[in-house]
Amino acid sequence: MRNNQLVSGWGGAHGSKALLIEKQISKFVEFYERGVKFSILGSCTSYGDSAVSDLGNYFSTELLKGIEIDVENKFAQCGGGVTYEELLEATLQFGLIPKVIPGTNQATIGGSIAADIHGKSTKIPNCISNGILGLKLLGKNGVVNLSKMNSNDSELIQATVGGLGVTGLILSAVIPLQSVNSQTVFETRTKCHSLHSTLRTIENLVRESDYVVCWVNLSRKGTYRAIVSSAQISSSDSLQSLSYVRIFSRVAEYLDGFKIWPRIGRGPQLIFRWNLKIANQAVYLFSREKRILSLREFLFPMKKLLFWRHLHGRGGLIQWQRIFPFESESIMGDVLNRIQDSSYLPTLVTIKISQEYSSAVLGFCLPGWNLAIDFRANQPGLTQFLRELDELVLLAGGRPYLIKDGYLSKKEFELFFPRAAQLKGIDSSDMRPNWISNNQLLRLGLLG
């Protein structure tokens, strides 16, 4: 169907008008056989320009639904357009959840695979590239079924997972599940006053917790404060009713959704250093040491920060997410100090831990510290400042999380991901369909 809708990543810093949004797979096949170039559109939860295309042609995965659960063997086969909220609704009734869950419940399965998502889990697998069992792909040579058990499929799977859509459209996937006893977690919060104590606390809590994440306050120059949150899934449901949580979350998602973006997304900046200091101070002082909450509340905390992206003003926000190997802890400390001393206000800072290497060609995870920082977009000099920080990340042996990226050049990208040549070489030419196109793939030189 023809459309003049605005397509934007969740941060709102990158966008384009959609001239065509196609949802029917049969019509999509007809278009790509005619050589029409498309970008694949999921739930628009990435921060950068991963799904944005200046060509304006999109295929929406909205109709790629359907969930089948094998309770005995603990896996789910679901469509590429299924969101994690929908998957959790289906699996929790059997006492099961996905092994790898991203930080937003609105991410689609197809988009999560293309991004090689990770989460707060302390257990392996940490990333979906090491946990996915198989997938169905509409690529250059039509529809193919790929399995982790088939060694002949390994190369294409590694190129597809984390590949930002470069190999085609993910129609469905087989996701491993694990058992849980309840839908509630027991959360413990530990306050820290230095990066060293924060990281040591995380390391200690990983051994005894199901999930760990850390919030860091860098809004006050010269001071360091952090709260490490660890959670253990309860042995039984301690909350008798979780309906109010679901109702609030769904209302918030609707209000924060695509339909009001043109109005609210162009509002004034409402976050400044002075009011962020006050808010962060309140969070730190009044944080409860122990509490019981729903699993969804812990896994998806951004659902409570209604309109977070809109508070950053007309340009939206970007998230600078990088991973540092364990042995480069001092370099990460230097990065945090430079950010805190700069004029660029970090509005939200989190640290998670990763314990394994991603098998994907463009995978993000490696054993180390996962640092994510929100900034107000379109600030003069911000991109250059972040590029200077990237030099430290490269020196540390770290890498960027590509689904959050909106500025890396082809040369910078290749320095971080030397294996990317596998996606552009002659031997891999059969992997890349000629109908796929989006701004990020073009910017990184992944389309030839």
Decide if 37 is inside a domain: no
Residues 248 and 159 in one domain: no
The verdict on whether omega for the bond into residue 301 sits within 30 degrees of 0, i.e. cis, is: no
Which residues, other chains included, contact 144 with Cβ-Cβ below 8 Å and sequence gap of 6+? Answer: 136, 137, 156
Decide if 209 is inside a domain: yes
Residues 171 and 190 in one domain: no
Tell me what pLDDT residue 238 has. Answer: 54
Tell me what pLDDT residue 371 has. Answer: 98
Residues 191 and 311 in one domain: yes
Q: Which two tokens stand for residue 58?
A: 């999109």
Residues 319 and 210 in one domain: yes
pLDDT mean over 218-238: 88
Which of 147, 180, 213 is the last residue before a domain boundary? 180
Judged against a pLDDT cut of 90, whether residue 412 lies above it is answered with: yes
Residues 192 and 123 in one domain: no
Tell me what pLDDT residue 35 has. Answer: 78
On whether the CB atoms of residues 375 and 11 are closer than 8 A, the answer is: no
pLDDT mean over 73-87: 97
Which of 151, 180, 209 is the last residue before a domain boundary? 180
Decide if 298 is inside a domain: yes
Task: State the pTM of this model.
Answer: 0.91
pLDDT band of residue 109 (cuts 50, 70, 90) is very high
Q: In this predicted model, which residue has the larger pLDDT, 401 or 314?
A: 401
pLDDT mean over 256-282: 72
pLDDT per position as a tens digit, 127-154 = 999 999 999 999 888 899 999 999 999 9
Residues 141 and 192 in one domain: no
Domain count, the chain: 2
Across the chain, what does the average pLDDT equal? 89
Decide if 93 is inside a domain: yes
CATH number, position 290: 3.40.462
Judged against a pLDDT cut of 50, whether residue 243 lies above it is answered with: no
Q: In this predicted model, which residue has the larger pLDDT, 252 or 162?
A: 162
Judged against a pLDDT cut of 90, whether residue 374 lies above it is answered with: yes
Residues 256 and 275 in one domain: yes
Residues 280 and 350 in one domain: yes
Query: Among all chains, which residue has been given the structure tokens 């289906």?
Result: 90
CATH number, position 106: 3.30.465.10
Residues 223 and 201 in one domain: yes
Judged against a pLDDT cut of 60, whether residue 87 lies above it is answered with: yes
Length of the chain: 448
Decide if 283 is inside a domain: yes
Decide if 446 is inside a domain: no
Give the C-alpha separation, 101 to 187, whole Å: 18
Residue 33 CB neighbours (<10 A): 9
Residues 190 and 157 in one domain: no
Judged against a pLDDT cut of 50, whether residue 275 lies above it is answered with: yes
Tell me what pLDDT residue 262 has. Answer: 42
Judged against a pLDDT cut of 70, whether residue 434 lies above it is answered with: yes
Decide if 418 is inside a domain: no
Tell me what pLDDT residue 432 has. Answer: 74
pLDDT band of residue 266 (cuts 50, 70, 90) is low
Give the C-alpha separation, 139 to 143, whole Å: 6
Residues 168 and 193 in one domain: no
Give the domain range for residue 385.
Answer: 184-412
Residues 101 and 208 in one domain: no
Tell me what pLDDT residue 314 has. Answer: 84
Decide if 34 is inside a domain: no
pLDDT mean over 268-275: 91
pLDDT per position as a tens digit, 175-200 = 999 999 999 999 999 999 999 999 99
Tell me what pLDDT residue 265 has. Answer: 47
Which of 152, 180, 208 is the last residue before a domain boundary? 180
pLDDT mean over 302-321: 84
